[in-house]
């Protein structure tokens, strides 16, 4: 008691700044504790109780250390546009921003006009350093975004519909006219993935090393890029679509379809995990919040909907049509239609997205893809006349973990990381709606009983197999026909035996059950006697 | 004198009567008292005591005045005593006692002890004499005592009382009067007539040690209780056990905190304080010191300075000796080569010998070969041909050599001797040989004719076909080939063999008949082929035309002349698969033959509706652009405009579209300002860009803008349909959901009348279904309803969450609770935190992942030792303690190792 009192007093006495800090850390500790500990009071096993309490203490310490690290070693905070008075954030133009920011950031505002080779789609590496661009008419290029240096540019002379980086900038896959291809940084064609067919959209699961594609016929393919094996391939059965996005939280692939439905897939089952009707018209775009709980969809009926994926309910419905959608690392939502880009933000923190910024391109540019650059406050836009990038303050994660993604990676670090990530590669089965449930207890359903027909069929098959056995030719009197016949008979009997055993067991069980039911069905007046009997 | 005797007798009687008691109680008490006194009193030096030993014995014997029989007897403290008529030492039955000739306090031999004599009245006089003697002896003793005390005093220099104390207590107080009825003793007068301890104590008053003695006696009196009878054995043992248990419990419970601590510890450090000694051979070797004689000798020799130096100097010389002369080396190599070649030859020989097979083996082999060949002839025309060739060769050989025409030496010899003179075997052999000759030389017609010529020609023609017409379909090729073959066969059939067996008249007749039948058949076949090829040719000719134009083989162009007239109106809302054009059908077949779904797949995308709330450029335009994917380039008559409507798409015939283009857009365009014109242009471009045209429009990466006229506007009805598409979608989704629910939780089958059972009597019909069936059905229904209710998506109308069990993922989940856990909740909470280095700061990873037991391998784990454990100690300290322990251990290890080194040195 005294100690507790002492603690309370100490808390009160803490100076305000420290108090604030401790409060802040407490919040973070709670985050790192990942839920509450078990209620140990219930436990009867003292040994287990002791051990668990020790472990729980360790967890607490670890969380505290992590919270402190976060507090003191990740000091940079993301900024936002703030306005005074009647000014609105969405009225602020890129030009005005460029006047305020430093030179390095200013370099991130640019338009590259390449009118000849059609609408461009873009992709960034996970560390945000490199960008791959793919022009519809066969233009593929790799750009180092740090110094805006063109690493490689080449022309494949056929339609390219999508491009996606594999685990690092060394490899990227491009969905071309007939098949997707994998190229390396030098533009050398490494693989032609014929099994995928003519792919409309590509995605890559970094933790599972799976390349996912959806082709013209609505077939979904999962290919393991480390072994080359096709992990899963199934028809969506929902028609042709080029709306596909991976949920970064759990690796589930979501596809939007013309029927207004969004289906979520995993590589180990041919039926969708979840199928939800999001829009009355076709789904035109789809994006996931990095925390995996929020999904944005846009339909042809000019509505953008935000979904809570834990409850599968609509959180918010916004007016507007989006050809492409993307969430930033900090949760800003960008959508592009025609030549206009708008960024929504959850500014109040109550999961209600409101307008944050807007940007309109030159008239007539058709935006094909918007994509936030990781670890930078930059939004990349691929459009019909090239690609451009604009500044969206507060979109990127300001603190990067070099173990996760390092924008300043050296080649040696990249190699190290490649090996590490290969060692940590997750098997495709781990993809599920809630990956945090892995390892928990799941009651296995009992096998259903075989029907009599099935059993009979099995028995017959077994007997046939036994009959088909060719006998050895034995010598010295053991090859007599009588003996052979006997042996044959024996073999058949042997094959039958397990089935008979099973039958007997079942019969016994049913008999027991019937007995039990008889006991239960005693008249009420007699029941107590029966009960007594069993007691004594 | 008489009085004295009387008294004596009484005393004696008393002594004999009380013998037991007095001996038991008094004496015992006294002896213990005395011992105590001895201890308490002034102590003698041990040497003196040894000297005094004898005297002491005197004193002791004096103490037991009443019991003379106790002389020289040592009482082992027994309660009970064996009573005998005569004392043991007298009767000499049991000679355990040393017989001593004469003690100075002992009576002379001739003197008879009163005790022994049974009859005292008989020998009065003697008694008197004895009494006298006793008296004198008593006096003597007293005197002796006195002198002895004096002597002791002289020697020790201690007050006399120290030695006399005990004697005083033994003073016999004689009564003033004779004991009789009239003159009772004082005891009797007092009451009980027994001597109490106080009686005995009183005279000691004032003597040193008295108070102590009295206290003790008081204590004994206070505490004194009647001795109880011992408990029965079982009870006694139980009590003992109980006590033992308590004791052992206390002993054991002191371990409890240690055990508890160990059990709750997340990590146990075992055998930490054990020093494993050296880890390397080098370390051991460096510490080696010679111990035995030999070792020392060797060491002295090895480490001798001279030798070392000599070795150092000599090393280079030794190396020089390693040089070998050129000749020697060459010799050696030669020798080796010789050996190798010998070995090789030997091996080859062995191989050869092994290869040689017996005659029977070869015979059997030949037999097999012949059999195989015969089979092959029947099966394979090529093989037959080959065989024929071989046969021909053999025939030629035979004709050349005449090997089998009795030309061998053996045959000649036999013939010269005369065939008749030979035995049957030889004759048969000769006959056989002749037969073989005949066989070999016989001409073969049949095989040769049919096979060689026709095959060649067909092959040629086949190649000709290929060169002439590549694009011919396989079917037509086959047809042609078949036709030609039949024709050839007919021609061939007309040739008749001129010689041989087949030339015989009856054979010829038979052959003719057969040929006629075959010719008829062939004619029919040819007719068929012709009709088929005509059909094919119709299409082919056109194909060829296009081919010549393009120079490439394209299947797509076939469509151009496809006979099927396609009149499709917009009214077909759900695009039927049957209506789709050839290419599509082909594609559908290509990918999965999934016709149902193919109706769903859309060929083109809706392009973005250009709508921006904020952009002022477009003011609520109704305008929409559609992307089109043009499948077939050039002058294709149909374009497919995909319109999303309830998940299906449809095609609009080009004519219709053109019409629409003529009629509607003109109005729209006219009504809208130039802006839209621009937009349309752009969308047109977009259409171009997005087209996945099969024809390669690009030349060197530059697009040749070819078909801009493919842009279409959707009709009004289409727009309306699109606007109201939602209703359908929802319904459809509900249907899908129901289907999936039915699939995952199938509806129970409705019970049906049992066939056979009472059918002809209509029992079933009358009674209805048996109740158990109905019950079962109901139960199943209920179960299903419950299952549906328990689904995650039960309350979500627009969501289907699959509840299928993923078998591959099953291994990632726990099937049963692991052992110490009894509750699911606790288990799941305990595994909620990742413990890897990716998720925890490095300071915590070690502690989180420490193994349960830390132990050096190869170390014997010692039983736990007792140590004081603070039960309220917290775990935090625990860990620190562990670390400390480690450090300590390190220290101790060092110390120990040092010790060991010393040991090693010793």
DSSP helix/strand/coil, A200: strand
Between the alpha carbon of residue A154 and those of residues A55, A112, A138, A141, A190, the distances in Å are 56, 16, 8, 6, 15
CA atoms within 13 A on the CB side of A398: 12
- pLDDT reported for residue B97: 56
Q: State how far the Cα of B266 lies from the Cα of B517, in Å rounded to an integer.
A: 98
Higher pLDDT, A351 or B163: A351
Across the A:B interface, residue pairs with CB atoms under 8 Å apart total 292
Higher pLDDT, B640 or A186: A186
Note whether B611 contacts A302, CB cutoff 8 Å. yes
Note whether A337 contacts B591, CB cutoff 8 Å. no
pLDDT digits (tens, 9 = 90+) for A494-527: 999 999 998 899 899 888 887 776 666 677 777 7
Note whether A301 contacts B875, CB cutoff 8 Å. no
Is the pLDDT confidence value at A134 over 90? Answer: yes
- Looking at chain A, which residue has its C-alpha nearest residue B799? A276
Q: Which residues of B touch A90 (CB under 8 A)?
A: 614
Q: Which residues of B touch A320 (CB under 8 A)?
A: 611, 613
Is the pLDDT confidence value at B389 over 50? Answer: yes
Q: State how far the Cα of B216 lies from the Cα of B89, in Å rounded to an integer.
A: 36
b/e burial code for range A442-451 (CB count within 10 A of at least 16 → b) = eeeeeeeeee
- pLDDT reported for residue A286: 94
Where in the sequence of chain A do the CATH 2.130.10.10 domains occur?
A: 125-235+400-433
Contact in structure between B821 and A55 (CB atoms under 8 Å): no
Q: Quick one: pLDDT band at residue B573, thresholds 50, 70, 90? A: very low
Which among B692, B18, B351, B821 is positioned nearest to A47, based on CA atoms? B821
- pLDDT reported for residue A137: 93
Q: State how far the Cα of A314 lies from the Cα of A304, in Å rounded to an integer.
A: 10
- pLDDT reported for residue B260: 85
Q: Quick one: pLDDT band at residue A430, thresholds 50, 70, 90? A: very high
Question: Does ipTM come in above 0.90?
Answer: no
Q: State how far the Cα of B73 lies from the Cα of B95, in Å rounded to an integer.
A: 13
Note whether A119 contacts B689, CB cutoff 8 Å. yes
Is the pLDDT confidence value at B189 over 70? Answer: no
Give the closest-approach CA distance of B397 to chain A in angstroms: 47
- pLDDT reported for residue B161: 61
Q: State how far the Cα of B287 lies from the Cα of B904, in Å rounded to an integer.
A: 8
The chain-wide mean pLDDT, for chain B, equals: 65
Which among A280, A232, A399, A80 is positioned nearest to B727, based on CA atoms? A280
Q: State how far the Cα of B733 lies from the Cα of A261, in Å rounded to an integer.
A: 8
Q: State how far the Cα of B266 lies from the Cα of A249, in Å rounded to an integer.
A: 33
Note whether B730 contacts A277, CB cutoff 8 Å. yes
- pLDDT reported for residue A510: 86
Between the alpha carbon of residue A191 and those of residues A175, A188, B719, the distances in Å are 12, 9, 43
- Joined together, the tokens standing for residue B337 give 């080569």
- Cα A171 versus chain centre, distance: 21
Is the pLDDT confidence value at B635 over 50? Answer: no
B595 CB within 8 Å of a chain A CB: no
Share of chain B above pLDDT 90, in %: 7
Contacts of A165 (CB under 8 A, 6+ apart): A123, A124, A125, A126, A130, A132, A171, A172, A204
Is the pLDDT confidence value at B25 over 90? Answer: no
Quick one: average pLDDT of B627-634?
Answer: 38
Q: Which residues of A touch B689 (CB under 8 A)?
A: 118-119, 136-137, 384
Note whether B798 contacts A300, CB cutoff 8 Å. no
B267 CB within 8 Å of a chain A CB: no
Note whether A261 contacts B733, CB cutoff 8 Å. yes
Q: Which residues of A touch B615 (CB under 8 A)?
A: 338-340, 360
DSSP secondary structure letters along B43-97: PPPHHHHHHHHHHHHHHHHHH--S-GGGTTPPP---SS----SS-HHHHTSSTTS
- pLDDT reported for residue B642: 37
B524 CB within 8 Å of a chain A CB: no
Minimum-distance CB partner of B602 among A51, A240, A340: A240
First-to-last alpha carbon distance for chain A, in angstroms, is: 52
Quick one: average pLDDT of A230-256?
Answer: 93
**Nearest-10 Cα torsion for A261, A262, A264, A270:** 30
The bridge status of strand B698-699 relative to strand B702-703 is antiparallel
**Nearest-10 Cα torsion for A501, A504, A510, A511:** -140
The bridge status of strand B268-270 relative to strand B853-855 is parallel
Note whether A37 contacts B829, CB cutoff 8 Å. yes
- pLDDT reported for residue B99: 57
Q: State how far the Cα of B21 lies from the Cα of B79, in Å rounded to an integer.
A: 10
Is the pLDDT confidence value at B391 over 70? Answer: yes
Query: To which CATH superfamily is domain A125-235+400-433 assigned?
Result: YVTN repeat-like/Quinoprotein amine dehydrogenase (2.130.10.10)
Is the pLDDT confidence value at B295 over 50? Answer: yes
Of these ranges, B309-323, B626-640, B838-852, the one predicted with the greatest mean pLDDT is: B838-852
Q: Quick one: pLDDT band at residue B902, thresholds 50, 70, 90? A: very low
pLDDT digits (tens, 9 = 90+) for B800-813: 998 888 888 889 99
Is the pLDDT confidence value at B722 over 60? Answer: yes
- Looking at chain B, which residue has its C-alpha nearest residue A266? B806
Residue ranges of alpha helices (H) inside B418-504 are 424-441, 446-468, 474-494
Q: Which residues of B touch A312 (CB under 8 A)?
A: 793, 796, 798-799, 801
Minimum-distance CB partner of B647 among A157, A177, A258: A258
Between the alpha carbon of residue B768 and those of residues A390, B751, B755, B759, B765, the distances in Å are 78, 11, 13, 12, 5
Q: Quick one: pLDDT band at residue B651, thresholds 50, 70, 90? A: very low
Q: Which residues of A touch B595 (CB under 8 A)?
A: none
A-interface mutation test, from B701, B737, B743, most A Cβ less than 10 A away: B701
- Looking at chain B, which residue has its C-alpha nearest residue A262? B799
Long-range contacts of B549-558 (CB under 8 A, 24+ apart): B553/B471, B555/B583, B555/B586, B556/B583, B556/B631, B556/B632, B556/B694, B557/B632, B558/B582
- pLDDT reported for residue A262: 94
The chain-wide mean pLDDT, for chain A, equals: 88
Is the pLDDT confidence value at B692 over 50? Answer: no
- Looking at chain A, which residue has its C-alpha nearest residue B687? A118
Note whether B702 contacts A116, CB cutoff 8 Å. yes
Note whether B612 contacts A338, CB cutoff 8 Å. yes
B-interface mutation test, from A311, A369, A441, most B Cβ less than 10 A away: A441
Note whether B841 contacts A66, CB cutoff 8 Å. yes
Note whether B802 contacts A273, CB cutoff 8 Å. yes
- Looking at chain A, which residue has its C-alpha nearest residue B617? A363
Q: Which residues pair with A246 in a beta bridge?
A: A253
Q: Which residues of A touch B592 (CB under 8 A)?
A: 217, 235
Q: State how far the Cα of B23 lies from the Cα of B17, in Å rounded to an integer.
A: 11
DSSP helix/strand/coil, B214: helix
B610 CB within 8 Å of a chain A CB: yes
- pLDDT reported for residue A18: 85
Q: State how far the Cα of B160 lies from the Cα of B170, in Å rounded to an integer.
A: 16
Q: State how far the Cα of A352 lies from the Cα of A317, in Å rounded to an integer.
A: 10
Q: State how far the Cα of B72 lies from the Cα of A514, in Å rounded to an integer.
A: 95
B820 CB within 8 Å of a chain A CB: yes
Q: Which residues of B touch A44 (CB under 8 A)?
A: 822
- Joined together, the tokens standing for residue B37 give 């006194």
Is the pLDDT confidence value at B491 over 70? Answer: no
Q: Which residues of A touch B628 (CB under 8 A)?
A: none
Note whether A50 contacts B841, CB cutoff 8 Å. no
Is the pLDDT confidence value at B408 over 80? Answer: yes
Higher pLDDT, B715 or A12: B715
CA atoms within 13 A on the CB side of B369: 7
Q: Which residues of B touch A364 (CB under 8 A)?
A: 678-679, 682
Q: Which residues of B touch A58 (CB under 8 A)?
A: 266, 844, 847-848
Q: Which residues of B touch A276 (CB under 8 A)?
A: 796, 798-800
């Amino acid at each position: 008691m005294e100690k507790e009192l002492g603690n309370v007093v100490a808390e009160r006495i803490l100076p305000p700044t420290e108090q604030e800090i401790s409060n802040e850390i407490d919040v973070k500790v709670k985050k790192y504790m990942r839920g509450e500990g078990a209620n140990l009071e219930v436990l009867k096993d003292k040994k287990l109780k002791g051990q668990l309490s020790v472990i729980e203490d360790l967890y607490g310490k670890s969380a505290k250390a992590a919270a402190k690290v976060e507090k003191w070693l990740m000091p940079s905070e993301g900024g936002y546009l703030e306005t005074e008075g009647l000014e609105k954030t969405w009225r602020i133009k890129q030009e005005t921003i460029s006047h305020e920011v430093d030179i390095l950031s200013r370099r991130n505002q640019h338009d590259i006009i390449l009118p000849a080779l059609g609408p461009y789609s873009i992709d960034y590496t996970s560390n945000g350093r490199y960008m791959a661009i793919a022009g519809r008419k066969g233009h593929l290029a790799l750009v180092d975004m740090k110094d805006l240096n063109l690493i490689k540019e080449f022309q494949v002379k056929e339609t390219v519909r999508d491009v996606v980086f594999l685990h690092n900038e060394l490899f990227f896959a491009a969905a071309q006219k007939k098949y997707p291809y994998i190229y390396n940084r030098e533009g050398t064609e490494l693989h032609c993935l014929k099994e995928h067919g003519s792919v409309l959209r590509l995605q890559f699961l970094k933790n599972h090393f799976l390349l996912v594609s959806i082709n013209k016929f609505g077939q979904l393919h999962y290919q393991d890029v480390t072994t080359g094996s096709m992990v899963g391939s199934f028809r969506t059965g929902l028609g042709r679509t080029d709306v596909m996005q991976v949920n970064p939280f759990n690796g589930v692939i979501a596809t939007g379809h013309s029927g207004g439905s969004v289906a979520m897939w995993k590589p180990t089952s041919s039926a969708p995990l979840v199928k939800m009707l999001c829009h009355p018209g076709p789904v035109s775009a789809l994006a996931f919040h990095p925390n995996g709980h929020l999904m944005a969809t846009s339909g042809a009926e000019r509505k953008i909907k935000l979904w809570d994926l834990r409850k599968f309910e609509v959180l918010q419905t916004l007016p507007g049509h989006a050809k492409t959608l993307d969430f930033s690392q900090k949760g800003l939502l960008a959508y592009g239609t025609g030549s206009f880009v708008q960024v929504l933000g959850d500014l109040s923190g109550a999961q209600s997205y409101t307008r944050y910024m807007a940007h309109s391109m030159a008239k007539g540019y058709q935006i094909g893809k918007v994509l936030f650059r990781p670890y930078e406050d930059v939004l990349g836009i691929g459009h019909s006349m090239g690609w451009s990038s604009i500044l969206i303050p507060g979109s990127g994660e300001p603190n990067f973990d070099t173990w996760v993604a390092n924008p300043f990676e050296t080649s040696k670090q990249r190699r190290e990381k490649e090996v590490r990530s290969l060692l940590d590669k997750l098997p495709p089965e781990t993809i599920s709606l809630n990956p945090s449930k892995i390892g928990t207890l799941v009651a296995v359903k009992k096998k259903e009983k075989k029907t009599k027909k099935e059993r009979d069929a099995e028995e017959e098959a077994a007997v046939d197999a036994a009959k088909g056995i060719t006998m050895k030719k034995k010598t010295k009197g053991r090859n007599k026909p009588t003996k052979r016949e006997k042996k044959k008979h024996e073999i058949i009997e042997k094959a039958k035996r397990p089935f008979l055993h099973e039958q007997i067991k079942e019969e016994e069980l049913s008999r027991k059950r019937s007995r039990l039911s008889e006991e239960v069905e005693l008249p009420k007046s007699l029941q107590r006697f029966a009960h007594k009997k069993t007691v004594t | 004198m008489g009085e004295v005797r009387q008294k004596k007798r009484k005393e004696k009687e008393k002594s004999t009567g009380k013998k037991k008691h007095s001996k038991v109680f008094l004496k015992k008490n006294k002896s213990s008292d005395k011992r105590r006194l001895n201890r308490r009193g002034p102590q003698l030096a041990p040497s003196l005591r040894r000297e005094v030993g004898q005297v002491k014995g005197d004193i002791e014997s004096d103490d037991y005045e009443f019991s003379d029989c106790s002389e020289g007897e040592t009482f082992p403290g027994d309660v009970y005593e064996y009573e005998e008529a005569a004392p043991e030492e007298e009767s000499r039955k049991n000679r355990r006692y040393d017989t001593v000739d004469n003690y100075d306090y002992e009576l002379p031999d001739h003197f008879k002890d009163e005790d022994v004599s049974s009859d005292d009245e008989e020998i009065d006089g003697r008694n008197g004499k004895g009494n006298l003697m006793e008296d004198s002896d008593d006096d003597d003793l007293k005197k002796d005592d006195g002198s002895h005390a004096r002597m002791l005093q002289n020697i020790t220099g201690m007050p006399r009382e120290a030695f006399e104390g005990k004697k005083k207590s033994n003073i016999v107080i004689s009564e003033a009067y004779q004991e009789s009825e009239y003159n009772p003793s004082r005891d009797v007068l007092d009451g009980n007539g027994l001597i109490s301890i106080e009686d005995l104590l009183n005279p000691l008053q004032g003597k040193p040690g008295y108070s102590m003695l009295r206290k003790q006696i008081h204590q004994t009196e206070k505490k004194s209780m009647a001795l109880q009878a011992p408990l029965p054995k079982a009870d006694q043992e139980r009590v003992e056990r109980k006590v033992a248990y308590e004791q052992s419990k206390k002993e054991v419970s002191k371990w409890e905190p240690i055990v508890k601590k160990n059990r709750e510890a997340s990590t146990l450090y075992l055998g930490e304080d054990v020093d494993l000694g050296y880890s390397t051979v080098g370390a051991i070797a460096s510490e080696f010191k010679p111990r035995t004689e030999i070792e020392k000798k060797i060491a002295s020799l090895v480490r001798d300075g001279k030798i070392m130096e000599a070795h150092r100097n000599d090393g280079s010389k030794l190396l020089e000796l390693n040089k070998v002369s050129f000749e020697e080396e060459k010799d050696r190599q030669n020798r080796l080569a010789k050996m190798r070649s010998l070995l090789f030859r030997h091996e080859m020989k062995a191989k050869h010998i092994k290869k040689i097979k017996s005659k029977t083996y070869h015979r059997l082999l030949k037999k097999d070969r012949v059999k195989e060949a015969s089979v092959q002839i029947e099966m394979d025309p090529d093989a037959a041909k080959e065989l024929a060739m071989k046969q021909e060769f053999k025939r030629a050989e035979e004709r050349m050599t005449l090997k089998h025409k009795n030309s061998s030496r053996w045959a000649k010899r036999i013939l010269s001797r005369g065939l008749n003179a030979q035995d049957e075997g030889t004759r048969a052999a000769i006959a056989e040989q002749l037969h073989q000759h005949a066989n070999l030389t016989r001409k073969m017609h049949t095989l040769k004719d049919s096979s060689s010529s026709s095959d060649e020609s067909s092959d040629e023609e086949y190649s000709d076909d290929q060169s002439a017409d590549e694009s011919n379909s396989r079917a037509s090729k086959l047809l042609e080939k078949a036709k030609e073959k039949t024709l050839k066969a007919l021609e061939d059939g007309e040739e008749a063999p001129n010689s041989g067996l087949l030339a015989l008249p009856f054979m010829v007749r038979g052959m003719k008949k057969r040929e006629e039948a075959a010719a008829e058949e062939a004619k029919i076949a040819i007719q068929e082929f012709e009709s088929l090829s005509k059909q094919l040719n119709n299409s082919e000719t056109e194909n060829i035309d296009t081919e010549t134009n393009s120079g490439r083989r394209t299947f797509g162009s076939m469509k151009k002349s496809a006979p099927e007239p396609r009149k499709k109106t917009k009214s077909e809302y759900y695009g039927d698969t049957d209506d789709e054009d050839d290419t599509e059908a082909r594609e559908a077949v290509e990918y999965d033959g999934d016709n149902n779904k193919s109706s769903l797949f859309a060929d083109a995308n809706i392009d973005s509706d250009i709508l921006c709330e904020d952009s002022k450029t477009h003011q609520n335009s109704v305008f929409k652009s559609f992307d089109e994917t043009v499948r077939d380039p050039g002058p294709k008559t149909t374009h497919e405009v995909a319109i999303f409507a309830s998940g299906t798409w449809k095609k609009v015939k080009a004519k219709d579209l053109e019409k629409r283009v003529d009629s509607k857009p003109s109005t729209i365009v006219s009504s809208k300002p130039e802006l839209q014109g621009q937009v349309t242009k752009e969308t047109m471009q977009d259409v171009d860009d997005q087209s996945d045209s099969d024809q390669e429009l690009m030349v060197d990466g530059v697009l040749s803008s070819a078909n801009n006229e493919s842009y279409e506007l959707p009709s009004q009805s289409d727009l309306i349909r699109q606007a109201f598409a939602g209703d359908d979608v929802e319904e459809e989704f509900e249907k899908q959901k129901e289907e999936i629910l039915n699939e995952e939780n199938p509806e129970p089958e409705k019970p049906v009348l049992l066939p056979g059972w009472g059918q002809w009597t209509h029992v079933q019909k009358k009674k209805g279904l048996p109740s158990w069936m109905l019950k079962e059905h109901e139960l199943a229904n209920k179960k299903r309803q419950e299952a549906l209710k328990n689904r995650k998506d039960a309350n979500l109308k627009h969501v289907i969450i699959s509840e299928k069990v993923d078998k591959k993922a099953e291994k990632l989940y726990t099937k049963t609770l692991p052992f110490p856990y009894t509750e699911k909740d606790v288990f799941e909470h305990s595994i909620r935190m990742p413990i890897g280095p990716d998720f925890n700061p490095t300071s915590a990873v070690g502690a989180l992942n420490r193994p349960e037991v830390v132990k050096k391998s190869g170390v014997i784990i010692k039983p736990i030792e007792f140590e004081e454990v603070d039960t309220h100690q917290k775990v935090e300290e625990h860990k620190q303690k562990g670390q400390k322990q480690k450090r300590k251990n390190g220290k101790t290890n060092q110390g120990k190792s040092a010790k060991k080194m010393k040991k090693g040195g010793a």
